[in-house]
Amino acid sequence: MALLSEDDLLARAARIRCLFLDIDGVLTDGKLYIGPAGEEIKTNFVRDGYGIKQALKHGLHVAVISGRPSESMRARLSFLGVQHIALDTEDKEPAYERICAELGVSDDECAHVGDDVPDLPLLRRVSLAMTVADAHPSALAAAHWVSRCTGGHGAVREAIDLILAARGTH
């Protein structure tokens, strides 16, 4: 894939009804902090959370599919209002297909923000493939759009702002 022209980018973004997100490296900075009892601690950027709430408020579905389990992230996402969460899902396509069927959306109405090899099947499938500035080269090569921000530092908010602006709801 290749980056889209501004006109093509906005046209695709205007059709998006569901935004799929990865967690590690997208909603977080990709670092895993391990506590003394072996528990994982992840940081979240408050502006990304606000962006998710704005997306939901304006009728954009948000779904999260991650290869790793994280009950703290499930709690955070649920607090933000995200209803479609699939964790500990290394093969992301079955969860993607299930969520699309539940929401009645097609690939042409979906965007995905990913950052690494496990995201490639979705990045290649959705209408709007998005990635973060510090993504793995394979994800960068598959992207139609790359954020200015790095993962866990506002990239999700940037993607949401783009989609909402293109939809005329920002």
| Residue 17 contacts residue 60 (beta carbons within 8 Å) | yes
Pick the closest to residue 164 from 80, 45, 83, 60 (CA basis): 60
Q: Which pLDDT score, from 0 to 100, does residue 59 have? A: 97
pLDDT of residue 104: 98
Burial of 101 (0-12, 13-18, 19+ CB in 10 A): exposed
Residue 163 has pLDDT above 70, yes or no: yes
Domain architecture of the chain: domains with CATH:
6-58+67-78+90-167 (3.40.50.1000)
φ and ψ at residue 160, rounded to 5 degrees:
-65, -45
The pLDDT of residue 1 = 67
pTM, 2 dp: 0.96
